[in-house]
Amino acid sequence: MALRGCLRAGLGLGLLRRAGPRGPPARGRCAGGRPPAFGFLFDVDGVLVRGSQVVPAARLAFQRLADSSGRLRVPVVFLTNAGNCLRSARAQELSHALGLQPPPTTGFPTIEGVILFGEPVRWETSLQLITDVLLSNGNPDSELQDIPYPHLPVLACNMDLLWMAEAKMPRIGHGTFLLCLENIYKKVTGRELKYEALIGKPSTVTYRYAAYLIQEQAEKQGWNVPIRRLYAVGDNPMSDVYGANLYNNYLKSAHQNLVQAGVKRSLQTASPQTEDHLRLRKDCNNSVESCESILVCTGVYRHSADVPTKTKECTMESVFHGHRDFCFDPSLVEASHIVQDVNDAVQLAFKKENWS
């Protein structure tokens, strides 16, 4: 019988979770009566938790983010590539750790092909099974004949080579598993493994969806002011900083293209709505103008100097840990700001926004 549908290596997906307020929405309640024009994208491992241990600064940070009633004053999305547990279980853990109401999790459609969510427990078994499926075009119980190419669609949802848990040293992640799979496939077939899509940090599509959730959250809270700026807080230069900077470049480029093309004028015409028109309309409705990367020193990245006083410091690394399908650009791993922990990151953003 043909093996179609989803083949999973591990559990989970690059999570996009909205932090829910306690009680009914605070309709327009915010600092000084002024609605926020900014939001936060928080990485989880190495920023808020280290394995099962909460980073002490995380509780302080969320005390600043919530009002006296425990309601969030600023829209927040948890943006993580972690795939070592179910979304619902991780949401419960985060809520308990940070003193929040359980964040809702979003569903994802089933995709036919091979879907790689996160590193499995037994790598050799998963590598063998996935290789069998790709070489047999979804019929692993049949004898090997002509190797199909292109192979079945492969979707990877986490490209992190390293991540931080309780251990002092970084742990190898799903990006390392993908590296193994890519090399095995090429060694066996002589051809490159191709991905239908790469989702999760640092992919731009992940940040675009996160921005959509941020704006949706603000509207549900009654903050009828467009979210103009995002602050992406992470501990990994190769995924968190790279992704935020890549998205920031995308925002700049999209804005310039829209201005040059005179999109606002063309969207007012009565011409048929082509695919390009629909895409440009979505870009016009996206209020986000910038995404600043804030690097913390409680996870993969460490700094021995007086970090809190330093901003816009180069974090260029000599070895590129990113996925092979992403080009290495030293400027993309240079954080906008480097701070000691997530509490300092929140304070920095509040100061830039003149937010009490």
Residues in the chain: 356
Work out the average pLDDT over 173-177.
94
Of the chain, the percentage scoring pLDDT greater than 70 comes to 73
- Phi/psi at 59 (5° precision): -65, -40
Query: Of 277 and 77, which is predicted with more confidence?
Result: 77
Looking at 118-127, 159-168, 215-224, 308-317, which range is the least confident one? Answer: 308-317
Strand partners, 156: 116, 198
Average pLDDT of the segment spanning 229-234: 97
For residue 131, name the pLDDT band (cuts at 50, 70, 90). very high
Residues 6+ apart with CB under 8 A from 130: 7, 9, 114, 116, 181
Q: Are β-strands 76-80 and 38-42 bridged in parallel, bridged antiparallel, or unpaired? A: parallel
How many Cα atoms occupy the beta-carbon half-sphere of 133 within 13 Å?
24
What per-residue confidence (pLDDT) applies to 104?
Answer: 60
- Give residue limits of the domains in the chain: 1-356
Instruction: Provide the Cα torsion 291, 310, 307, 46; round to 10°.
Output: 10
Q: Give me the torsion for CA of 333, 240, 352, 347, rounded to 10°.
A: -120
More confidently predicted of 232 and 309: 232
Residue 76 banded pLDDT, cuts 50, 70, 90: very high
Q: Span 209-227, mean pLDDT?
A: 91
Q: What H or E segment, with its residue span, contains residue 17?
A: strand 15-18
Q: In whole angstroms, what is the distance from residue 315 CA to residue 176 CA?
A: 22
Q: Distance (Å, rounded) from C-alpha 137 to C-alpha 13? A: 24
Q: Per the CATH hierarchy, to which homologous superfamily does domain 1-356 belong?
A: HAD superfamily/HAD-like (3.40.50.1000)
Q: Give the CA dihedral 79, 295, 245, 83, nearest 10 degrees.
A: -30
Mean pLDDT of the chain: 79
* Higher-pLDDT residue of 28, 272: 272
Residue with the bigger pLDDT between 248 and 323: it is 248
pLDDT at residue number 318: 63
pLDDT at 210: 94
